[in-house]
Structure 1
Amino acid sequence: MNGVTERRTYSYLGPAGTFTEAALEQVPEARGQHWRPVHNVGEALTDVLDGTSDAAMIAIENSVEGGVSTTLDALATLPGLRIVGEYLVKVDFVLVARPGTRMDQVKVVAAHPVAYAQCHGWLGRELPAHAHVPAASNVASALGILDGSLHADAAIAAPGIVQHHDFEVLADGIGDNANAVTRFVLVTRTAVPAEPTGADKTSLIVELPDDHPGALLELLEQFSTRGINLSLLQSRPIGDELGRYRFVLDADGHIHDERMADALLGIRRFSPRVVYLGSYPRADRKIVHYPERYADEVFVEARDWLRGLVAGAPES
C-alpha cells in the first residue's frame, strides 16, 4: 500500500458560486475533497446511489417558500438514502449583468423561479416593466447572460458568483426578506445512524392508510403522546390518484431515544409506508428538551414492568 488516502466525492448543485456550495463549505470532512457540480437534485442523489459520489448536498427547505418539492419527492421515491447532517445558509441575492450594463438598460431578468419569487417585491419597485426568463439555478441565470444562452439583460444570483466571474453588480441585498434562510441536508447511502448528541432531528416520510376523518390526527398523536415536537409537517401528493398525500415530518430527537423508537413503532403499525430518512444533529445544535415523563428510563421501566406481568412476577 502506498499510504495515499482516496479522496471522497461530494455532489452539489453547481457550478461554483451557488448557495449549495456555501452549504458544502460548512462540512469539515468535505474540505480538500473532490466536489462534483451537478445540474439538479435528481442527478445529485443518483450519484450517491450509483457510487459516483460518497454524499450529496441538497436544499430541502426555505424559510420563505417552505419545503423544496423536487427534493421531498425524490427522497420519497428513491430508496437507500440517509440524511446525515443539516446546514443553514442565509439567503441573499444580487442583481448582476455584463460589465458596462446600467440599471436603466435592464428589461429582461433571468432567475431561478424560487429566487425570483423571493425578490419579487424589489423587482416590482425598481424594475416594474421587466420580463422574467426562468433559469435552472441561480448561477445558471448569471452565466446564461454572459454566454448568451439566456436572452436577458441581468440576472439574480448569489453574492458568491462575483468571486468566480466578472460581473457588474447593479444592486445587492435585493431579497424581500432579510431573514431568509435555506436549509440544506447532506445525504449518503443507507448507513447506521450516528450516536445521538442530544440536539438531534429525525426525518420521515409517512403515508396515511386511507382518507377518513381524523386520519392525520391519528398520525400526529403518535408523536404528541410521546412528548415529541414536530418542526416540519408538509404534505406532498403521492401521484397515483387525486387526493392522496404523503407527509414529510421532522421530529425533534433521535432514533436511539426510547420515546422516538416507540413513536416509530407506532407509526409502522399505523402507516402502510414509512420512509426513514435519518437521525442527525440539528444545524443550530439546540438541545432538545422534553418533560421528565418522556425520559428514556421511564419507557424502559414501563417495558420492564409489562414483561414482569407477562412472566407472572409479583407486583411491587
Structure 2
Amino acid sequence: MTVSSDAEAAVRTYSYLGPAGTFTEAALAQVPEARGQVWHPVRNVGEALDDVVSGRSDAAMIAIENSVDGGVSTTQDALATMPGLRIVGEYLVPVQFVLVGRPGATLADVSVIAAHPVAYGQCLVWLGDALPAHAHVPSSSNVAAALDMLDGVGGADAAIAPPGILEHHDLQLLAENIGDNPKAVTRFVLVSRTVAPPPPTGADKTSLIVELPDDHPGALLDMLEQFATRGINLSLLASRPIGDELGRYRFVVDADGHVLDERMADALLGLRRFSPQVVFLGSYPRADRAIVHYPSRYSDDVFVEARDWLRGLISGEPEE
C-alpha cells in the first residue's frame, strides 16, 4: 500500500484559459498559493468554472473585464447562472501585444496576419502604420493565432500574440508593444467553490449580480439607491439580458467595500428585499490595494448606534 505524503495531499489544481502563454496564465502567476501547484489549461470559461463546480479543480482564473472592451459577457453570464461559486481574489494584467513569425522571418515577409478579433482591433493603428497592405485571418484565441501560424494553418505569415508566448514556443519576435492603448489592462478573478469571505482589509470589493423585479420607470434607480443612500461607490455596473424575454436584464455590480462592513451588509439586505434574485459573488481584496474611503456618516459605528437606538425604542428603555 502506498501512503501519500502531506505534501502530495496538499497539491491543488488551478484551471485557466490555455494553452501556456496566455494573459490568463500571467494572471495565475500572480497568485502566491498557486505556485508549484497543478495548472490545468482549458478551452473556455465555462469549462474552467465547471472544473471548479465538479471538484476537478480547486479554483479557476478567468477574465471578467477589460479596460478597452468592457465586461467579458461570457464570464458574467456564467457567474450569473452557475451556482456554488465564489470570487476570492482579483488580479490585473497589462495587455500588451507582440507580432511574431516563424524562426528567421522578418517584418518585410509579412502580408497575412493571424489574430483574435479583439486583439486585432486593439492593434489597428500600429498595423495601419507598419503594415498597411496586410490581410487578417481571425483566430480563436491569442495563443492559437501564433500556434496556427507556426503550423502553417490559415496561411498567415505572422501572428498577434501575448508576450508570454515567447517563453514557451520557438517564435521570431518581429515587433513588440504594438497595442494602440499602452494603458490597456484586463481584470481577472480567481473563482473557487463557495467559501466564507476573507476578513475585511479596508481595500475590498464586493461583486454581485442583481435582477430588477420588473420593468417600470425608476426600477434601476431604486436598485442604485440601495448603494447611494449608504455611501457605497460602484466601480462597475453592466447590464446583461436574462434571456427569457425582451426587456429583462440582470446587472453585474462591483461595489467598493466588504460584506462585513455595516453599510455593505445593510445595502445587501435592501437589495434582498427589492430584487427577486441577488447573487453574491464574493468580497475580496482589490487588486490595486487602494483603501476605500467614505464619509464618516456611513461608518460602522453609525449603523451600530442606529440599530441600538431602535432596539431601545422597541424594548421601552428610557431615552438619555
**TM exceeds 0.5?**
yes
Measured against aligned partners, the alpha-carbon deviations of 1:135-186 in whole angstroms (never above 9, x if no partner) come to: 2221111111112333322111011111111111111110000011111100
Structure 2: gaps of 5 or more residues? none
Q: Is the CA contact (8 Å cut-off) linking 1:72 and 1:248 kept in structure 2?
A: yes
Residue in structure 1 matching 2:44, options 23, 28, 40: 40
| Percent identical residues | 77
1:242 is displaced (CA, Å) by 1.9
Partners of 2:60 and 2:136 in 1: CA distance: 30
Partners of 1:85 and 1:255 in 2: CA distance: 14
Residue in structure 2 matching 1:315, options 289, 312, 319: 319
Partners of 1:113 and 1:314 in 2: CA distance: 69
In the alignment, what sits opposite 1:146? 150
Partners of 1:285 and 1:258 in 2: CA distance: 20
Residue in structure 2 matching 1:128, options 123, 126, 132: 132
In the alignment, what sits opposite 2:271? 267
One-letter amino acid of the counterpart of residue 151, structure 2:
D
1:304 is displaced (CA, Å) by 1.1
One-letter amino acid of the counterpart of residue 237, structure 1:
P
In the alignment, what sits opposite 1:246? 250
1:133 is displaced (CA, Å) by 2.1
Residue in structure 2 matching 1:194, options 187, 194, 198: 198
Which moves more between the two structures, 130-139 or 225-234?
130-139
Q: Does 1:230 align with 2:234?
A: yes
One-letter amino acid of the counterpart of residue 215, structure 1:
A
One-letter amino acid of the counterpart of residue 108, structure 1:
V
- Taking the TM superposition and a 5 Å limit, the aligned residue runs for 1:68-87 are 68-87=72-91
Q: Is the CA contact (8 Å cut-off) linking 1:83 and 1:187 kept in structure 2?
A: yes
Residue in structure 2 matching 1:96, options 85, 97, 100: 100
1:237 is displaced (CA, Å) by 1.3
One-letter amino acid of the counterpart of residue 312, structure 2:
G
Q: Secondary structure at the match of 1:267?
A: helix
In the alignment, what sits opposite 1:56? 60
1:274 is displaced (CA, Å) by 0.8
In the alignment, what sits opposite 2:6? 4
Partners of 1:108 and 1:2 in 2: CA distance: 52
Partners of 1:132 and 1:43 in 2: CA distance: 28
1:298 is displaced (CA, Å) by 0.7
One-letter amino acid of the counterpart of residue 4, structure 1:
D
Q: Secondary structure at the match of 2:264?
A: helix
One-letter amino acid of the counterpart of residue 150, structure 2:
L
Measured against aligned partners, the alpha-carbon deviations of 1:38-65 in whole angstroms (never above 9, x if no partner) come to: 1111111011010110000011111111
Measured against aligned partners, the alpha-carbon deviations of 1:3-44 in whole angstroms (never above 9, x if no partner) come to: 422210000111111111111111000000000011111111
TM-score (norm 1): 0.97
Structure 1: gaps of 5 or more residues? none
Q: Does 1:302 align with 2:302?
A: no
One-letter amino acid of the counterpart of residue 44, structure 2:
N
One-letter amino acid of the counterpart of residue 294, structure 1:
Y
One-letter amino acid of the counterpart of residue 83, structure 2:
P
One-letter amino acid of the counterpart of residue 295, structure 1:
S
Partners of 1:39 and 1:2 in 2: CA distance: 31
Measured against aligned partners, the alpha-carbon deviations of 1:47-89 in whole angstroms (never above 9, x if no partner) come to: 1010110000011111111111111111111111100000011
- Aligned-residue RMSD, C-alpha: 1.2
User: How many residue pairs are counted as aligned between the two chains?
Assistant: 316
One-letter amino acid of the counterpart of residue 285, structure 2:
P
Partners of 2:238 and 2:264 in 1: CA distance: 19
1:110 is displaced (CA, Å) by 1.4
1:313 is displaced (CA, Å) by 1.7
1:2 is displaced (CA, Å) by 5.0
Q: Does 1:29 align with 2:38?
A: no
Q: Secondary structure at the match of 1:110?
A: strand
One-letter amino acid of the counterpart of residue 60, structure 1:
I
Q: Is the CA contact (8 Å cut-off) linking 1:12 and 1:58 kept in structure 2?
A: yes
Q: Is the CA contact (8 Å cut-off) linking 1:207 and 1:273 kept in structure 2?
A: yes
Partners of 2:288 and 2:261 in 1: CA distance: 19
In the alignment, what sits opposite 1:119? 123
Q: Is the CA contact (8 Å cut-off) linking 1:133 and 1:152 kept in structure 2?
A: yes
